[in-house]
Amino acid sequence: MSAVFRNDAFLFLIIILVSFFASWYFGFIAINPIDNFTNYNSGYLVLEGKIPFRDYWVTTGPFLDFIQFFIFKISGVNWYGYIFHSALLNSLFCCLIFYTFRRLNLNKYLSLIYSLATGITLYSQLGTPFVDHHSSIFGITSLLLFILAINKGNNLYWALIPFFITIGFFSKQTPASYFAIIIFVYSLYFFFSRKDFQSFIVIFFSSISILILLSFLFLILDIKFLDFYNQYIKFASSVGDARLSSDSFLKPFNFSRYFLKFKWLHLSYIPLIYVVFKSVSLDKAYLKSPDFISISLLILSSYILIIHQLLTLNVKFIYFYIPILCGFCNIYLIKSSFPKKKAINQINILVLIIACSYYFTNYILKQKFQLFCNYKIIQETVTQTDIIDNNTSFNWISCLNNNPKKEVENIKKILKFLNSEIDKDDNYVLITDYQFLNSRLQNNNQVQINKWYHPGVSYPLVNNIQFSYYKSFFFEKIKLNKKKFLIFVYPSHFRLENQLYYESMLENCDYKKLSQFDGLLVSLNIEKCY
């Protein structure tokens, strides 16, 4: 294992630098205000002493909150520390890809190409930490460890699988939990077909150790299991169930939705399917080999990513999996003995080049992430002084406003107003898609209710099974304070449903409503609740 690092140290350095700066560069290109700030805010909240589940409602990604907390602890609360998070993960994952390919005896230069292609296509589309990316990365990491384990027989790989599945799950429940299920099934098959009970014992005790560690963390952080269960499992499951039962998300046997939208991903594993069929035709025992197990798992995992993608409103971000599939195809073609493998591999590399070029041109360069964005990028750089931090400037992609420049000006005015009007002893809840505002206010007495505010996704609506629980959670957080403001900060076309929702929650309270800046800022001053 150490020989890989020793012999290929310079190539590892190249991968780290290229993949790090690919993500870093696009982190400064443009900002999408809807999702880009979620983990920025939660990292700041943990820095301020707040704990997920206990102090604010969490449906995705507490692991990201703590990573961002540690980085902010070192860097300070700024944009550089934020995009360092995603750039670091981007480079570490690509190093793992390179390491895996080298351990499976792929040529070091080919391993380098596939790893760099992954690094350029993974986090560059967004440039900022995002829960779907993290969960996918850690899920795939556990898959790679499984493949290494069954091929190399190293117990360290087995021991690490539960760890990465866990942090993937605490990044976002899916797709990490899907990876957990298929790896569990494949592991059982491998253990009992090979009678490899030693490896079973290793992964079993590793899993138990993870559970003990989690219990200990919940204890020292004073997180109640019931809060975790209701927020992260029960409510999140209700959101997933609603999407699974909706034709708008999953349309069975819809060729266009499943295949045409992800054609390049499907094309990338056709050579792998060819390897399987050709190998089986030569030797039926191939069906029990580690190679077959690995290939079938890789293809199945690609469909996991597709299904997950269809269940979100995010534009296709899973193209980064194509270089990984192409790399494995190269590995198994080299190992095979059947003719025309050179031609098949040439097709494999051609698919890689075309797919990555297509994705880079149509999504990454355009910073195209949300389906509902208009992607109007202002050409000149909007200086972000007095907005996110005092040292950062980048372009602003507006999914919330048709006039990005005006949007930035409004944010500056609102920020100035809040810092002048909120007294240092006032307690407030800030409800907004501009979640970096929390870190820019001079008053730090904020009462955080949610990690972010997306109706029906980050908190339950009235018809949801968890609504009553959430309502009690809401009042538990605000009743602890003497003077309370609910402050809503909106873009020009705002999520009015947020305001109406929380006004309905205050039906048994006396409050005064104040509107500022043509309705872009609305505050509810809660005087008394019965």
**DSSP track, 10-77:** HHHHHHHHHHHHHHHHHHTTEE-TTTTTHHHHHHHHHHTT--BTTTBB-SS-HHHHHHHHHHHHHH-S
The single-letter code of the amino acid at 396 is W
- 148-203 pLDDT, tens digit per residue, is 999 998 999 999 999 999 999 999 999 999 999 999 999 999 998 888 889 999 99
390: Cβ contacts below 8 Å, ≥ 6 apart: none
Q: Is the pLDDT of residue 299 over 80?
A: yes
Q: Is the pLDDT of residue 217 over 70?
A: yes
Pairing mode of beta strands 382-383, 393-396: antiparallel
141 near 164, Cβ under 8 Å? yes
Least confident stretch, 57-66, 204-213, 338-347, 479-488: 479-488
Looking at residue 388, what is its pLDDT? 81
Burial readout 410-445 (b: 16 or more C-beta within 10 A, e: otherwise):
bbeebbeebeeebeeebbbbbbbbbbbbbbbbeeee
Of 31, 58, 42, 65, which is closest to residue 370 (Cα–Cα)?
31
Instruction: Using a pLDDT cut of 90, give the percent of the chain over it.
Output: 45
Looking at residue 378, what is its pLDDT? 44
Strands, E assignment, 397-467: 427-432
What are the residue boundaries of the structural domains of the chain, listed by start? 130-245, 262-364, 393-529
Q: What is the mean pLDDT of residues 320-327?
A: 95
Instruction: Using a pLDDT cut of 70, give the percent of the chain over it.
Output: 88
Looking at residue 5, what is its pLDDT? 60
Q: Is the pLDDT of residue 493 over 70?
A: no
Q: What is the mean pLDDT of residues 220-237?
A: 94
Total-model pTM? 0.92
Q: Is 128 in a helix, a strand, or coil? A: coil
Q: Is the pLDDT of residue 114 over 80?
A: yes
Q: Is 455 in a helix, a strand, or coil? A: strand
Q: Which of 178-192, 246-260, 488-502 has the highest mean pLDDT?
A: 178-192
Q: Is the pLDDT of residue 25 over 50?
A: yes
- Distances from the Cα of 511 to the Cα of 40, 447, 502, 503, 507, angstroms: 31, 17, 12, 9, 9
Looking at residue 147, what is its pLDDT? 97
Burial readout 487-503 (b: 16 or more C-beta within 10 A, e: otherwise):
bbbbbeebbeebbebbb
Higher pLDDT, 32 or 389: 389
Of 74, 86, 90, which is closest to residue 36 (Cα–Cα)?
86
474: Cβ contacts below 8 Å, ≥ 6 apart: 449, 505
User: What's the mean pLDDT when you consider all of the chain?
Assistant: 86
Higher pLDDT, 133 or 279: 133
- 190-209 pLDDT, tens digit per residue, is 998 888 889 999 999 999 99
Strand partners, 522: 488, 515
- 437-487 pLDDT, tens digit per residue, is 888 888 777 788 999 888 888 999 999 999 999 999 998 888 765 667 888
How many Cβ atoms sit within 10 Å of the Cβ of residue 130? 25
- d(CA 50, CA 205) in angstroms, rounded, equals 32
* Residue located via tokens 């098959």: 189
422: Cβ contacts below 8 Å, ≥ 6 apart: 428, 441, 442, 443, 485
Looking at residue 384, what is its pLDDT? 55
Q: What is the mean pLDDT of residues 104-112?
A: 93
pLDDT band at 379 (very low <50, low <70, confident <90, very high): very low
Residue 193 token pair = 């077909």
How many Cβ atoms sit within 10 Å of the Cβ of residue 362? 13
Q: Is the pLDDT of residue 95 over 50?
A: yes
- Distances from the Cα of 87 to the Cα of 111, 460, 494, angstroms: 20, 33, 31
Backbone dihedral region of 219: left (phi > 0), alpha (psi from -120 to 50 degrees) or beta?
alpha
pLDDT band at 400 (very low <50, low <70, confident <90, very high): low
H or E element at residue 485: strand 484-489
